Amino acid sequence: MPAVIILAGLGNPGPKYAGHRHNVGYMAVDAIAEAHGFGPPRKKFQAEIREGFLDGPAGRQKAIVLKPTTFMNESGRSVGEAMRFFKSAPGDIAVFHDEIDLAAGKLRVKTGGGTAGHNGLRSIEAHIGPEFRRVRIGIGHPGDKAKVTGHVLGDFAKADHQWLDPLLAAIAQAAPYLVADDARFTSTVAQQLAMPKTPGDRTAAPSSEDRATASADPALPTEKPARGPLAEALRKLLGRKD
């Protein structure tokens, strides 16, 4: 195992951007840090970082959650600085980011490849090369090229949290597998999302009918559900008051 694995979440700093779809990488690594009891945030490597451990199938692995505060287009400066400090290899870095070419709620992991026009990935590739791991979190496409910027730089709709909150919870639970096997990470996320709902626990995935309804009408009001402990922690993390 590497001495340290770096879990970099991409986004833009500050409350103005906190709820943006473009900030889902920040949200994912925050969920991991909370679920696994990482230490408090501190400033280093032109980023906000939290340190902790992931207990996975290969044993206990030290990990750093890193949220660059350079703004998205300069994310590589922060990731590269952290990589050099820890003497890590690009393969020891997992970058969580939004993916407009994936349906909302879908997750894919791959090592290397292109940047598909994502400015954060482009910056990281310029600083450390292409052979880092990418955890692609689907935010969906608005269906009109002219609406892409507003979609990416807009807040998640209330209905989006029907799939977003369970996905973030599943990513957090499956995070230890990132240090061992990407396939087990994605399969564990899928298993978590497929778990049936139980009373008082809304961290399970919505049904296909629920997803279709949310997709068709983002403004559709939803009944306020009961929440399990992890879902409640995510609600507070995302600053939601509903």
Domain of 120: which CATH number?
Answer: 3.40.50.1470
- Would you say residue 173 lies in a domain? yes
Give pTM, 2 decimals: 0.78
Is residue 233 classed exposed, middle or buried when 0-12, 13-18 and 19+ CB atoms within 10 A define those classes? middle
Mind listing the pLDDT tens digit for each residue in 224-236? 334 454 555 555 5
Please tell me the distance from the alpha carbon of residue 80 to that of residue 85, in angstroms, as a whole number.
9
- The three-class DSSP label of residue 134 is strand
- Would you say residue 120 lies in a domain? yes
pLDDT in the model for residue 232? 55
Is 22 in the active site? yes
Q: Which two tokens stand for residue 8?
A: 């970099």
- Would you say residue 152 lies in a domain? yes
CB 136 within 8 A of CB 109: yes
pLDDT in the model for residue 56? 80
CB 107 within 8 A of CB 171: yes
**Domains contained in the chain, number:** 1
Host domain of residue 101: 5-237
- Would you say residue 242 lies in a domain? no
pLDDT (tens, 9 = 90+) of the chain, 242 residues, equals: 678 899 999 999 999 999 999 999 999 999 999 999 999 999 999 999 999 999 887 788 899 999 999 999 999 999 999 999 999 899 899 999 999 989 999 999 988 877 777 889 999 999 999 999 999 999 999 888 889 899 999 999 999 999 999 999 999 999 998 877 667 888 889 988 887 655 444 444 444 333 333 333 333 333 333 445 455 555 555 555 55
Residue of 22, 36, 118, 161 marked active site:
22
Is residue 166 classed exposed, middle or buried when 0-12, 13-18 and 19+ CB atoms within 10 A define those classes? buried
pLDDT in the model for residue 235? 54
pLDDT in the model for residue 196? 67
- Would you say residue 225 lies in a domain? yes
